[in-house]
Amino acid sequence: MRDGNSRNIIFGFFLSLFILSIAMLAWLIWPFISIIILASVITGIFSPVFNLISVKDKITPPFASFLTCILIFFVVLVPIGFFVGILSKEAHDLYITAKDALLNDQIKNLFANSVLLEKTNLVLKNFNLELTGEALNKTISEIGKIVGFFLYEQARSIAANTLAFFANIFLMLLVVYFLLIDGSGLISFITDLSPFPKEQDEKLIQKFKDMAGAILIGNGLGGLIQGILGGTVFMLFGLKSPFLWGVIMALLAFLPIIGIGVVFIPAAIYLFLKGQIASAIFFVIFYIILSGGIEYIFKPKIVGQRVKMHTLLVFFSIIGGLKLFGILGIIYGPLIVTAFLTLTDIYHASYQKLLGPKELI
């Protein structure tokens, strides 16, 4: 009996020290958690490239990982650094323009002579409502201020401290380098510590890999295509800040419900009110083809059916992620929801029956 009590005391003491050590370790690495998560996602995306390089003769895993990191630097990080400067300037210009209401006269004159606005007010009069050019102008200015300020703050936070920016890039590439070499060993180490059965650990890890692939390959590549093509169309039609609007469309493309329509539809209305009817119709048709092609043809072929998440849940996970974590919330939000849904599946499959049948009250 005493031996049993002694073992329980020793185990309780050990468990307390183990939990304390985990908490201390989490405290140590918490300042770098964003770098580690982003590096893990990028590692999952570029691991096929690493495997392709490492199978060649006379190329050791460390050297193959080094070559992969160089590729990541030039393919992903250099363009980001180049675009941040342009984005910062255009976003700041948009914010200042909206804040100072420099578009006031243009918008007021545009809506003052609008036949569409008059017809709309005839309909709204039945509901005792009226839509004025001043109200529309105020709404457009507020939206411009919010969007411009958000993107400017995100870009400024990167560009404000160049040394910190490059230090974070170096740390991320360092993490990617070792994850490419020892990633499988690290996963085995974590799963060995986990109290879950092996198949449940593998299911949780696979879900994370699938979601990371869906975010960066499916949504990321789809958003990049929509942003580039959308910004190009804005430039060809002479609209202001095509680069900025291209970036906004690339980010909005992650949202499954609203998408790039938030930019394209108002732009089409703007062109319509200016009397450019053909251009407005082209914008609507181009938006339908581009958005529909990406959502219903491109993404299903790239991502497949590996990631199943309700559209509304994806929407709120990204919006909530953006609010809590900034621009990286596009990645963090869906990953958090993925963890919850996977654990829910595991609970229904393995643990719900342990609670016994539900009783009616």
- Alpha carbon distance 294, 224 (integer Å): 11
- Alpha carbon distance 141, 45 (integer Å): 39
For residue range 219-247, list pLDDT tens digits in order: 778 888 898 899 899 889 888 778 878 87
How confident is the model at residue 229, as a pLDDT? 92
Distances (CA, A) of 205 to 122, 173, 174, 208, 348: 57, 22, 22, 5, 18
How confident is the model at residue 102, as a pLDDT? 47
| Amino acid sitting at position 23 | A
The whole-model pTM stands at 0.66
Determine contact, residues 42/183, Cβ cutoff 8 Å.
no
- Alpha carbon distance 233, 196 (integer Å): 52
Distances (CA, A) of 156 to 38, 153, 172, 332, 353: 20, 5, 20, 21, 52
The residue behind tokens 């991320």 is 172
The domain limits of the chain are 31-100+141-192, 194-349
Instruction: State the Cα torsion 25-29-33-35 to the nearest 10°.
Output: -140
How confident is the model at residue 360, as a pLDDT? 47
How confident is the model at residue 27, as a pLDDT? 92
Task: Count other Cβ atoms within 10 Å, centred on residue 178.
Answer: 14
Higher pLDDT, 134 or 76: 76
Lowest-confidence region among 40-49, 54-63, 84-93, 172-181:
84-93
Q: What mean pLDDT is predicted for residues 280-295? A: 88
Higher pLDDT, 339 or 91: 339
Instruction: State the Cα torsion 30-36-37-40 to the nearest 10°.
Output: -160
Higher pLDDT, 333 or 304: 333
Determine contact, residues 318/329, Cβ cutoff 8 Å.
yes
Instruction: State the Cα torsion 67-69-71-76 to the nearest 10°.
Output: 180
For residue range 169-222, list pLDDT tens digits in order: 888 889 999 988 888 788 788 777 777 777 777 777 777 777 766 666 777 788
Distances (CA, A) of 93 to 149, 244, 312: 10, 10, 33
Residue 155 has pLDDT above 60, yes or no: no
How confident is the model at residue 90, as a pLDDT? 62
Q: Is 48 helix (H, G, I), strand (E, B) or coil?
A: helix
Residue 29 has pLDDT above 80, yes or no: yes
Q: What mean pLDDT is predicted for residues 118-146? A: 59
Lowest-confidence region among 2-6, 39-43, 261-265:
2-6
Residue 7 has pLDDT above 80, yes or no: no
pLDDT range class, residue 336, cuts 50, 70, 90? confident
pLDDT range class, residue 355, cuts 50, 70, 90? low
Determine contact, residues 180/65, Cβ cutoff 8 Å.
yes
Higher pLDDT, 197 or 126: 197
Distances (CA, A) of 35 to 32, 191, 271: 5, 22, 43
For residue range 245-254, list pLDDT tens digits in order: 887 788 778 7
pLDDT range class, residue 282, cuts 50, 70, 90? very high
Mean pLDDT of the chain: 75
CA angle 305, 69, 211 (to 5 degrees): 20
CA atoms within 13 A on the CB side of 292: 6
pLDDT range class, residue 131, cuts 50, 70, 90? low
Residue 276 has pLDDT above 70, yes or no: yes
For residue range 303-323, list pLDDT tens digits in order: 655 566 677 787 888 888 878
Task: Give the residue from 263, 235, 269, 236 showing the smallest Cα distance to 248.
Answer: 263
Instruction: State the Cα torsion 327-312-345-361 to the nearest 10°.
Output: 130
Helix axes 133-159, 104-112, angle to 10 degrees: 150
CA angle 139, 219, 314 (to 5 degrees): 65
Residue 232 tokens read as: 């190009």
How confident is the model at residue 20, as a pLDDT? 92
| Amino acid sitting at position 50 | F
